[in-house]
Amino acid sequence: MNKIKQKIQELRDLINQHNHYYYDLHKNIISDIEYDELLKDLVRLENDYPQFKDENSPTNRVGGGLSKKFDSESHIFPMYSLDNTYSSEELEAWYNRVVKKIGTTDFDFCCELKYDGASVNLFYDKGKLVRGLTRGDGLNGDNITKNLKTISSIPIKLPDSFKKNKFEIRGEIIIPLDSFNKLNKKRKDYGEQPFMNPRNTASGSIKMLDSNEVARRPLECFLYSIISDDITMEDHSELLNLAREMGFNVPNYEKVVNSIKGVKEYIKYWEINRKTLPFEIDGVVIKINKIDFQRELGFTSKFPRWAISYKYKAENLSTRLKSISFNVGRTGAITPVANLEPVLISGSTVKRASLHSYDQMLKLKLRYNDFVFVEKGGEIIPKITGIDEKRRGALEDEIIFPEICPECNSRLQKLESEANYFCLNYTGCRTQAIGRIQHFVSRKAMNIDGLGDETIRLFYDLGFLRDIADIYNLNYDEISKIEGYGEKSAENLRKGIEESKLNSFQKVLFGIGIRYVGESASKKIIKHVDSIDKLALMDIESLSSIDEIGDKTAKSIVDFFSDINNIQLINKLKSFGLNFYQKDNDTHSTKLSGKIFVISGVFESHSRDEIKNIIELNGGKVSSSVSKKTNYLIAGNNTGPSKLNTANELGVSIINEVNLIDLIS
């Protein structure tokens, strides 16, 4: 059973890592198909072993995280993701579920293109754009209104005939291909690095702090969905036409069809013709057109049941393998990266591709000068998927994995049950040390402003940093003398570092970088272990008894504390005042213990995050959707009607924020 628990936790950590890359760093490390396979595996295991379910599992989350750079605000109606399909069989299965639920085959589909950009949610009141949010986690998004107002295709004011309406309208921020190419040409002319692709550029642009710079980017906004209690129409396609009348940019590519055959024809047509479009798509979206049927079908915790996306397979081309680079990660893992003859895939030139691990390289039996098939995972990050057997390199060109670390020349070792070779020069390997410091200061760990990747490399090379403890012993007088810094920058850095000392034990535990102890695992550990000293004394058996901590993670924790260098590091961090114990006030009471809450709407005295915090501090749990297990729905202004209806049907108590305070008083 421990192996099952460990497998579930490994999947959660892996999916959370890919979510961080995709939503926070605007990168794809694996393809959408591979990501969805991981998610399906996790869903299956959680359903088969419900005793290991967790409210924080990525199966319960809708989108990405929130940025610390912008204020977080609540969507009036949750901004769900779409479930993905990749085959005709999966599409048929979705269709059959819909028919079974609504009891008829007499309905239309509205088929639309799936724009490849960054999702946003615009809120209009009395004919004016009031705010614009990113998708965020689906319940809350970053307020980027100022940036969105610089995009000419987003109306700031609507025609007078629409002044009475209050609504949210969802859309996708994209950069047309021609505009993207012109932007990159201009950057090259100025000696700047060209952007990788339109999607990443659009996603990064709307999160810039300087709205003047955002205005210089050729951003467009394509709208695809209106949600409102004020606007009533029978069909989704009618809402699209209404959006056009309001002045929104709704491309005329949707098609209403009355059969699953018509849906498949639409999918096939655009799979063939998508390269003729002036912008990028990565599939199509199929929606049940009738609004009443949409309401009847409702939502899962993550997806609408009345809509689904069909994702096109990534473009796959052949090119020559020139050489292999071997990169060192913060844990010492050696990852092979293929250097390729440049090839144009999905609108950008690919020169490098991931091989993931030694085992993967061995499986492919690569040789130098092989012609390999390259795919852009999710049409963003390239990877090698196979070899053109008819165009193989010579036998003498077989690739030999290095025996020594390319960074520090230490001998590499293949660890048991690992797919990679490792450099075990933990303290002396430059790349490992820099990687650990970068992890420690990252947003989900100590969240230290002013210590970006380049700054950390500079400080390491100058001898200011050797390990994470050195962060708290920096000489700010010396830093102020570095070109481009000065006293103000040094003082801001000092403040950021001092503030990080207030972080919780969980943040510190995650930040010190014990292998396999990700964000979720660190949260589980602190529920059972209230200090680093107690954790250091635990054995594999006692650690494995903690929810979601498998044997592999337990052994890694024991190994970490068996190393005298790590003990010395923690003692140094303690001397600088970092928090290595769980404070008593982390939980105020157990008055809400065993109770499950759902939060919906906008509140007068508290933000949704504050209400969530109140519940958790008093022992309760927060869920994203109303179910039979829900005890209370906390309803604010503009609570979604579907949540209210479900709560009433299931007999769930509906309370407000005042009632919540009464419960804990």
- Average pLDDT on 473-487 reads 90
**Is residue 40 classed as helix, strand or coil in its secondary structure?**
helix
Main-chain dihedrals φ then ψ at residue 601, nearest 5 degrees: 95, -170
Tokens 């950069």 found at = 175
pTM (2 d.p.): 0.52
Q: Is 174's pLDDT higher than 70?
A: yes
Report which secondary-structure segment, H or E, holds 85: strand 84-85
Q: Lowest mean pLDDT of 29-43, 447-461, 606-620, name the range.
A: 29-43
Indicate the pLDDT class of residue 3, thresholds 50, 70 and 90.
confident
Q: What is the pLDDT of residues 429-455, one digit of tens each?
A: 999 999 999 999 998 899 898 898 899
More confident residue, 665 or 320: 320
Q: Lowest mean pLDDT of 40-44, 391-395, 402-406, name the range.
A: 391-395
Exposure of 521 by Cβ count < 10 A (0-12 exposed, 13-18 middle, 19+ buried)?
buried
- Average pLDDT on 56-73 reads 60
Angle at the Cα of 120 from the Cα atoms of 117 and 126, rounded to 5 degrees: 145
Q: What is the pLDDT of residues 619-644, one digit of tens each?
A: 888 887 888 889 999 998 777 777 88
**Is residue 36 classed as helix, strand or coil in its secondary structure?**
helix
More confident residue, 288 or 657: 288
Q: What is the pLDDT of residue 250?
A: 96
Q: What is the pLDDT of residue 346?
A: 66
Give the pairing of strands 596-600 and 334-345.
unpaired
Class of domain 430-575: mainly alpha
Report which secondary-structure segment, H or E, holds 37: helix 32-48
Q: Is 23's pLDDT higher than 50?
A: no
Q: What is the pLDDT of residues 306-346, one digit of tens each?
A: 999 999 887 778 899 999 999 999 999 998 999 999 988 76
Mean predicted lDDT score pLDDT of the chain = 86
Indicate the pLDDT class of residue 26, thresholds 50, 70 and 90.
very low
More confident residue, 397 or 256: 256
- Average pLDDT on 61-74 reads 61
- Average pLDDT on 361-377 reads 84
Q: Is 187's pLDDT higher than 90?
A: no
Task: Give me the DSSP letters along 523-542.
Answer: HHHHHH--BHHHHHH--HHH
Residues in CB range of 472: below 8 A, 6 or more apart:
497, 501, 573, 576, 577, 578
Q: Lowest mean pLDDT of 56-60, 234-238, 250-254, 288-292, name the range.
A: 56-60
Q: Count other C-beta atoms under 10 Å from residue 365's C-beta.
A: 11
Q: What is the pLDDT of residue 65?
A: 47
- Average pLDDT on 182-210 reads 84
> Looking at this protein, which amino acid is placed at residue 591?
K
CATH architecture of structural domain 316-421: Beta Barrel (2.40)
Q: Is 586's pLDDT higher than 60?
A: no
- Where are the chain's structural domains? 2-60, 74-311, 316-421, 430-575, 596-664
Q: Using an 8 Å Cβ cutoff, are 400 and 365 in contact? A: no
Indicate the pLDDT class of residue 67, thresholds 50, 70 and 90.
very low
Q: What is the pLDDT of residues 496-547, one digit of tens each?
A: 999 899 888 999 999 999 988 988 789 889 988 989 999 999 999 999 888 7
Distances (CA, A) of 183 to 201, 240, 343, 380, 545: 10, 31, 21, 18, 55
Q: What is the pLDDT of residues 399-419, one digit of tens each?
A: 888 999 999 999 999 887 788
Give the pairing of strands 281-288 and 307-311.
antiparallel
* Selection from 81, 64, 59 nearest residue 27 by Cα: 64
Q: Is 62's pLDDT higher than 50?
A: no
> Looking at this protein, which amino acid is placed at residue 514?
I
Longest alpha-carbon distance in the chain: 77
Indicate the pLDDT class of residue 109, thresholds 50, 70 and 90.
very high
- Average pLDDT on 109-117 reads 96
Report which secondary-structure segment, H or E, holds 345: strand 334-345
Distances (CA, A) of 167 to 27, 102, 249, 304, 580: 32, 27, 16, 19, 47
Give me 382's structure tokens: 């390239």
Report which secondary-structure segment, H or E, holds 504: none
- Average pLDDT on 644-656 reads 88
Please state, in angstroms and rounded to a whole number, the distance separating the CA atoms of residues 619 and 589.
Answer: 6
Task: For residue 114, indicate whether it is catalytic.
Answer: yes
Q: What is the pLDDT of residue 69?
A: 64
Could you say which of 5, 53, 69, 114 is catalytic? 114
Q: What is the pLDDT of residue 367?
A: 86
Q: What is the pLDDT of residue 66?
A: 45
Exposure of 189 by Cβ count < 10 A (0-12 exposed, 13-18 middle, 19+ buried)?
exposed
Q: Which fold has domain 2-60?
A: Helix Hairpins (1.10.287)
**In CATH, which of 3.10.129.10, 3.40.228.10, 3.30.565.10, 3.40.50.10190 is domain 596-664?**
3.40.50.10190
Please state, in angstroms and rounded to a whole number, the distance separating the CA atoms of residues 428 and 220.
Answer: 48
Q: What is the 3-state secondary structure (H, E, C) of 429-472?
A: CHHHHHHHHHHHHCCCCCCCCCCCHHHHHHHHHCCCCCCHHHHH
Give me 581's structure tokens: 């114990």
Q: Is 605's pLDDT higher than 90?
A: no
* Selection from 313, 312, 314, 376 nearest residue 340 by Cα: 376
Residues in CB range of 210: below 8 A, 6 or more apart:
none
CA-CA-CA-CA dihedral for 630, 633, 639, 645, to nearest 10: 60
> Can you identify the CATH homologous superfamily of domain 74-311?
DNA ligase/mRNA capping enzyme (3.30.470.30)
Please state, in angstroms and rounded to a whole number, the distance separating the CA atoms of residues 656 and 637.
Answer: 10
Q: Count other C-beta atoms under 10 Å from residue 97's C-beta.
A: 13
Q: Lowest mean pLDDT of 18-27, 97-106, 195-204, name the range.
A: 18-27
Please state, in angstroms and rounded to a whole number, the distance separating the CA atoms of residues 413 and 404.
Answer: 9
- Average pLDDT on 360-369 reads 85
Q: What is the pLDDT of residues 548-579, one digit of tens each?
A: 788 889 999 999 999 999 999 999 999 999 99
Please state, in angstroms and rounded to a whole number, the distance separating the CA atoms of residues 513 and 535.
Answer: 14
* Selection from 389, 378, 327 nearest residue 352 by Cα: 327
Q: Percent of the chain, pLDDT > 90? A: 48
Indicate the pLDDT class of residue 347, thresholds 50, 70 and 90.
low
Give the pairing of strands 653-655 and 632-635.
parallel
Residues in CB range of 75: below 8 A, 6 or more apart:
121, 133, 136, 138, 139, 140, 141, 168
Q: Percent of the chain, pLDDT > 70? A: 91
Give me 640's structure tokens: 């979604």
Q: Using an 8 Å Cβ cutoff, are 371 and 319 in contact? A: yes
- Average pLDDT on 209-224 reads 90
